[in-house]
Amino acid sequence: MTNANTKRSWETEASTASTFTSTSPSALPGAAYDAVVVGAGPAGSVTAMGLAERGWSVALIDRATFPRSKVCGCCLNQHALSTLQTLGLADVTADAPVLDRFRLVVGGGGRLDLPLPPGRSLSRMVFDQRLIDHARRRGVHFLERTTARLEPLEPVAAPGSVASPWRRLRLRQDGEVADAEPREFLVMARVVVAADGLAGRLAADEPGMAVVTRADSRIGAGLVVDAATLGGAGPEPGQILMVLGRAGYVGLTLLEDGRVDLAAALDPQAVKRAGGVGRAVLTVLRAAGLAAPEELALAPWRGTPALTRRRRPWGRRIVAVGDAAGYVEPFTGEGMAWAVASAALVVPLLDEALRLSGYAGAAGGESDCWPAEVGPRWEALHHRLIGRRQRVCRVLSRVLRHPPAVAGVRRLAVRWPGTLRPLTQSLNHPTAPLASVAPPSGAAAASS
């Protein structure tokens, strides 16, 4: 377990990084960018730095003040790590704790242990901050404490005329001082990337991009606690501990600073019956025989909207990546892997579109030459490469809701230990084709 001095060094790094990423608001009002990326999680930062590496002007915007924590399992599996390595970002996770074992504990008794291809455990506070720092070193203009609203499309003025080649965003930026007046201003972008996560509203009113949520979707919840708080109910070093109950499941992982991350997917009705998220988690852990402390019921749990949702991931000069492009309940780090992989895959498409989309027209006028096939191509690629992996997790989530099915799988795996190996391997296998998303030669080295 990491000692107190190591814990303080991680906290110092995060605090120092926050001052590094602050950006003066005076540089932005009225600016025009090739790309504006809204949301500075892994999907947004990776997209922004990929486009900047290819020579485009990019703004990265987030409403939070960094570093910040976030509801997440904080697991990076081999799928995520291989994508980061391809992008020249292996250093982001190089000193994070290794995860190589998975333990499933089922309510009412029963345990299943499986080996995993080595992954890493890294808090979102550190992981996201490091990616933002990489993006800034690659030339991305980063703005925190800033909300973005996509302006409605301008109507075509007359038959035969063309639409504007720009999307406009209205930004509202909070001051660094608590009582400072917020500032509002417009920026323009040739393409907008919605990377604003499950709760994001950037593209909610964009034609064709409405979010559809499954009626039986679970909600997410997260909490980080000291390992001593959990006692014997916590995970072992190097282990992903997943506890399954009738109300849902809880994943527990040791972080880089020795604390424990708890991430839960819970049935909303079970949360109501239990009297809150903390009580529901406590019920799941205790039903599985873990001596979880009463403090968990009173802890400041943070929640998410419904987890299982889908949408068309594109509009006019706008694409959605990461959680904003569609989501299901993830397992063993797949959620983070989808985020970085979808960002890496969209960059070559947007790079091509930006190169093909001239906007200088006759007599100094402007014309919209954005390739119409970009959106459908992104939807097809996302469906084929990310959607396939999400379908595997969707099937797993269905199985895990039925205790008899879980018991059968457990008996099968105990009797024939190699039975589930293809499943764990498929969840960790890199997304193809990743060879085309590597940064331009020398870009990663020049930015470090």
Higher pLDDT, 407 or 95: 95
| pLDDT single digits (tens) 262-299 | 999 999 999 999 999 999 999 999 988 898 999 999 99
pLDDT of residue 177: 60
Taking a C-beta distance cutoff of 8 angstroms, is the pair 170, 277 a contact? Answer: no
Q: Examine the domain organization and report whether 132 and 211 are in the same domain.
A: yes
For residue 31, the model assigns a pLDDT of 87
Are the C-beta atoms of 35 and 354 separated by less than 8 Å?
yes
Are 230 and 322 in a shared domain?
no
Q: Is 149 exposed, middle or buried (0-12, 13-18, 19+ CB in 10 A)?
A: middle
Q: What pLDDT is recorded for position 18? A: 32
pLDDT digit string (tens) for 374-428? 999 999 998 888 877 777 767 777 776 766 666 666 666 666 666 666 666 666 6
> Is 10 a domain residue?
no
SS3 210: coil
DSSP code of residue 382: I
The candidate with the shortest Cα–Cα distance to 42, out of 70, 13, 78, is 70
d(CA 342, CA 307) in angstroms, rounded, equals 18
State the Cα–Cα distance between residues 42 and 63, nearest whole angstrom. 15
145 in any annotated domain:
yes
Give the CATH number of the domain where residue 160 resides. Answer: 3.50.50.60
Closest CA to 104 of 223, 281, 293, 250: 250
Distance, CA of 218 to CA of 397 (rounded, Å): 10
Note whether 284 and 405 are same-domain residues.
no
Supply the pLDDT for residue 12. 33
344: left (phi over 0), alpha (psi -120 to 50) or beta: alpha
- In sequence order, the β-bridge partners of residue 58 are 35
406 belongs to a structural domain: yes
| Domain membership flag for residue 299 | yes
Q: In the structure encoding, which two tokens stand for residue 137, read together?
A: 């070193």
Assigned token pair, 98? 């290794």
Q: At what angle do helices 374-381 and 334-356 cross, to 10 degrees?
A: 160
Please report whether residue 14 resides in a domain: no
Residues 299 and 432 in one domain: no
Q: Dump pLDDT digits (tens) for 212-226.
A: 998 888 899 999 999
pLDDT one-digit tens code per residue, 146-170: 999 999 876 655 555 456 788 999 9
| 83: phi then psi, degrees, rounded to nearest 5 | -65, -45
Give the domain-ending residue among 269, 286, 306.
306
Q: Is 154 within a domain? A: yes
Asked if pLDDT for residue 440 goes beyond 70, the answer is: no
Which domain covers residue 242, as residue numbers?
A: 218-306
CB contact at 8 A, 114 and 419: no
Residues 204 and 344 in one domain: yes
pLDDT, one tens digit per residue, over 226-240 is: 999 998 889 999 999
CA distances from 296 to 1, 69, 262, 266, 293 (A): 21, 18, 10, 15, 6
The owner of tokens 């020579």 is 55
Contact between residue 169 and residue 176 where contact means Cβ atoms under 8 Å apart: no
Asked if 267 and 371 sit in the same domain, the reply is no
The rounded mean pLDDT for the chain is 82
In a shared domain, residues 72 and 205: yes
One domain, residues 403 and 354: yes
Instruction: Judge if 84 and 136 occupy the same domain.
Output: yes
- Look at 328 and 136; give whichever has higher pLDDT: 136
Whether residues 185 and 287 fall in one domain:
no
* 247 in a structural domain: yes
348 and 293 fall within a common domain: no
How many structural domains compose the chain? 2
Listed residues 281, 306, 331: the one ending a domain: 306
Establish if 1 belongs to a structural domain: no
Q: How confident is the model at residue 434 (pLDDT cuts 50, 70, 90)?
A: low
> Residue 317 above 90 pLDDT?
yes
> Do 117 and 206 have their domain in common?
yes
Residue type, 345: L
- Residue 118 neighbours by CB under 8 Å, 6+ apart: 78, 98, 99, 100
